[in-house]
Structure 1
Amino acid sequence: RRKEKSALRFSLFIGFYRSTDTQTVCGWSLAYGENKQNKNPYGYYHCSKNGQGLRQCSMHYIRYDVLYAYVLARLQYWSMLAQKDEDNLLKRLLNASDRERNSAKKKQAAELKKAEKRKAEVDGLFAKMYEDWSAGRITEYNFNMLSEKYQNEQKELETKIRQLHETMEAAVQTAADAEKWIALMKQYVNPVELTAELLNTLIEKITVHEAVKGEDGSREQEVEIYYRFIGKID
């Protein structure tokens, strides 16, 4: 039975946890281990980049029970909000990035208008140049040289315009993504335990930072949860 519990602990967060150094994100997954030397043995996750003997990252870790309790508490919190006040939760999710999103939207709209205006100008110049070449007002050499120049600029502008449209459409999708996540959250009313299904449905990844010890010996550790569709909201 103890082996079954260890296997469950090992597999539960597989694919979700990532370790980060104090200064740089190492990007490696955390490996599961057990401290059996303590009076009360416990499971924990540690940075696999350090654990494989590479020593390229600090030996930071987090206890299984601490991570489990934190993730469960956050999901219970969001579940409670989704059940009790869906409208305010939606506003909270959207307002969290509204200012940044609106600023970016204005900038993108201005860039799009400028690119579309220049594209119309280049199209007009290209058409006028063709008329001049047909009428013999410019040489074929000059026509070919200018033609290549205008065609290259047309392609660059078309790519930029397409990318700006895609970016602006993605920003509009934010509201739909928030609603989608809330709908998923409402399916899990006050979860009392973590399961692989629950984590796969609601969470994209979990990032664990190295713990910082205070002068009084206390230990503080940052854990970031990135939820599906909406990213980090804590």
Structure 2
Amino acid sequence: MTNAKSYVNIDPCTTILLADPHKKGENDVDQQKITILYCRLSNEDALDGESNSIANQRSILTKYAAERGFTNIRVLVDDGYTGTNFNRPGVQEGLSLVEQGLVGTWIVKDMSRFGRDYLQVGRYTEIVFPSYDVRFIAVNDGVDSERGDNDFTPFRNLFNDFYAKDTSKKVRSVMKARGTSGKHMGKPPYGYRSDPQDKDHWILDEEAAPVVKRIFDLTIAGIGPCRIARILEADQVPTVKALYAMRKGKPAPERPCHWHEQSVVGILERMEYTGCVCNFKTYSKSYKLKKRIPNAKEDMFILPGTQEAIVPQEQWDRVQELRKNKRRVTKGERQGLFSGLLFCADCGSKLNFATCKRFEGRQDRYVCAKYRSGRGTCSGHIIREEVLRDVVLERIRAVTEMIRSDVEGFQEDWLHCRREEQEKSIREDKRRLAQAKKRLADIDVLMTRIYEDMVLGNLSQERYQKMAEGYEAEQANLNNEIIGLEDWVGIREEMDNSFDQFAALVEKYVDIPELTPTIVNEFIKKIIVYAPEKQGTKRIQKVRIIFNFLDELDTPEIGEPVITETTYGRGKTA
């Protein structure tokens, strides 16, 4: 019989030398599991100096792990990432290892390096890590989950969250000041480049600017973003990405001229092409939420005339109006000349273009969207395109001839229609401007008083500092408001240039032999179609044409509806 030896009750004979005088076994870890040394540095933390640098964190954590016998080390780094959320590659890699049960210890320099969202930090340190038997250590804060709960840790996490919130406020304040100073907050879009003499100033990109202008011109001609992309690709125009890659000497994309519809849409929506600064186009609801939300136009900061325009303001505005009314090529492979411009006089719905391959051109027509072959909620507001083309061409010729014959008299009538509303708006803005200037002067007096109170000992230095910061912030906001109001009042007092724009359009088209999509979109804002009436063998129908820039005028040539007559399938204007 063989005598078997039992080692069950034999005490370990190998001693572990520790750098600190703790009991043996206190720092024993499962050396088969990973020890994560996690380092994080945000752009704001980098301003604090070397103490928070990645190199300093790595040095502290490596030394700590070596002195306490931690092995199977893996260093994870998130450089340039905020601690207000956990969408960081390094921390996500570590948490993935934790979920796989591969991590034994997670060590950070302090709690703020792990995160500044106290709710998420508490969830991981108090729920997730204990569930996977992960030991969490924050070296400088004296936190070690193996030694039991640290009652001060939740408060420390809350203070870290407050720090992030305060930093966010300061960053927003700095960005607000820069954004309202008249400087661009982003890089130049396609069509512009930075001025070598002044990086904050944009100048035209000689190669890209004509492409941008062409895209806007094609849109005015009634062509949609998808077809524009195909045209640019057919003409072998390099895409934005391809152009920048070639300039930097990098490999071009596999299809360097393959334009996407969304690229065209992005260009059409950039207000900066009119020569302005447009800041604060998006915002976030909280410093913890990174989702950007489109801002209302009144909440943006827009300053015109900061760089050379690629497209005129009136053309950009017209493009935005046209894009609200999308036009599609029909199954008959034809597109209505007036698609998106016709509206029902009764229900306000659009009139859809109706055609098919077997139709001749003179059979194409527009029908109220709510008519639905007599089964809808509106009556038959139907008009043939051939009739409408004649009506619109005749009215455009009449209006342009009238303006050329007496430009000054026409301008006087137009000014008279706009003057009352314009003057009321200017008076209101002047009142707000006077209030802002008065408050600015009052703040100067208040600043002097609180300084005297502080010097005389009637006001603590801390209280003075807080009040001074509040007044200075209000001063900055008032200065920005005053600058904006003065510019806006000045522009309108100089005169709204809508008439000048229309007069230039009249001079551009001295003779109009026939209508084109470009002419229609430049002259016409919308057309209102009334229900037809029967008078014996005649079909009488009124059409009201509203011109761009001149919709306020109610002269017979512009404001009154046109009456069309149709007899035995033939149309004419009365």
- Same fold per TM (> 0.5)? yes
Corresponding position of 2:337 = 12
1:92 equivalent among 396, 401, 413: 413
2:67 corresponds to: none
Using the size of structure 2 for normalisation, the TM-score is 0.32
1:100-111 matched pairs, under 5 angstroms: 100-111=421-432
Contact kept in structure 2, 1:79 and 1:190, CA below 8 Å:
no
1:156 offset after TM fit, Å? 4.5
How far did residue 83 of structure 1 move?
1.8
d(CA) in 2 for partners of 1:160, 1:226: 34
- CA spacing shift, 1:131–1:70, aligned 2, 3 Å: farther
Aligned in 2, Cα 1:116/1:189: closer, same or farther, shift over 3 Å? Answer: same
In the superposition, relative to structure 1, how do residues 197 and 222 fare at CA in structure 2: closer, same or farther (>3 Å)?
A: closer
Aligned equivalent of 1:123: 444
Given the superposition, is the C-alpha separation of residues 151 and 31 from structure 1 closer, same or farther in structure 2, using an over 3 Å criterion?
farther
Say if 1:119 and 1:157, in contact at 8 Å, map to a contact too. Answer: yes
Between the two proteins, the alignment pairs up a number of residues equal to 216
2:394 is aligned with 1:76: no
Q: Identify the structure with the greater helix proportion.
A: 1
| Letter of the structure 2 residue corresponding to residue 196 of structure 1 | P
Shift of 1:13: 2.6
**Displacement of 1:133 after TM fit?**
3.0
Q: 8 Å contact 1:43–1:64 — kept in the other structure? A: yes
The structure with higher relative contact order (CA 8 Å, sep 6+) is 1
Q: Is the partner of 2:354 in helix, strand or coil?
A: strand
Report the CA distance between 1:75 and its aligned residue.
1.3
Q: Secondary structure at the match of 1:32?
A: strand
Q: What does residue 164 of structure 1 align with? A: 485
Q: In structure 1, what is the Cα distance between the partners aligned to 2:450 and 2:379?
A: 64
Tell me the distance in 2 between the aligned counterparts of 1:49 and 1:155: 53
Instruction: Look up the match of 2:546.
Output: 225
Q: Equivalents in 2 of 1:167, 1:57: separation in Å?
A: 44
Contact 2:379 2:531 in 1 (8 A): no
Give the aligned partner of residue 208 of structure 1: 528
Q: Provide the C-alpha distance between the structure 2 equivalents of 1:105 and 1:62, rounded to a whole number of angstroms.
A: 43
Which residue of 182, 191, 198 maps to 2:519?
A: 198
Letter in 2 for 1:104: S
Q: Equivalent residue for 1:113?
A: 434
Please give the alpha-carbon distance, in whole angstroms, between the structure 2 residues aligned to 1:130 and 1:101.
44
Counterpart residue number, 2:509: 188
Shift of 1:160: 3.6
Q: CA deviation at 1:153?
A: 3.6
Contact 1:213 1:219 (C-alpha < 8 Å) held by counterparts: yes
Match of 1:3 in 2: none
Aligned to 2:386: 65
Task: After TM superposition, give the deviation of residue 63 of structure 1 in Å.
Answer: 3.4
Q: SS in structure 2 opposite 1:45?
A: strand
In structure 1, what is the Cα distance between the partners aligned to 2:477 and 2:342?
38
TM-score (norm 1): 0.68
> What is the SS of the residue equivalent to 1:46?
strand
**CA shift digits 1:111-163 (9 cap, x unpaired):** 21222112221233234324433553312453355345434543553454344
DSSP-derived class of the 1:70 partner: helix
Deviations 1:157-182 (A, max 9, x none): 34543442343234245453312321
Relative to structure 1, the CA distance from residue 137 to residue 207 in structure 2 (aligned partners, 3 Å threshold; closer, same or farther) is: farther
1:49 to 1:212, Cα distance in 2 relative to 1, 3 A: closer
Please name the residue that 2:110 is paired with: none
Deviations 1:202-227 (A, max 9, x none): 34x31436x35779898765635241
For structure 2, list consecutive stretches of 5 or more residues without a partner in the other structure: 1-331, 559-574
Residues 142-161 of structure 1 mapped to structure 2, 5 A cutoff: 142-147=463-468, 149-151=470-472, 153-161=474-482
In the TM superposition, residue 77 of structure 1 has moved relative to its aligned partner by 2.1
CA apart distance, 1:43: 2.2
Q: Distance in 1 between matches of 2:367 and 2:391?
A: 17
Q: Is the 8 A contact 1:21 1:57 kept in 2?
A: no
> What is the percent sequence identity of the aligned residues?
23
- Give the letter aligned to residue 17 of structure 1: L
The structure with the larger Rg is 2
| Counterpart Cα distance in 2 of 1:21 and 1:141 | 67
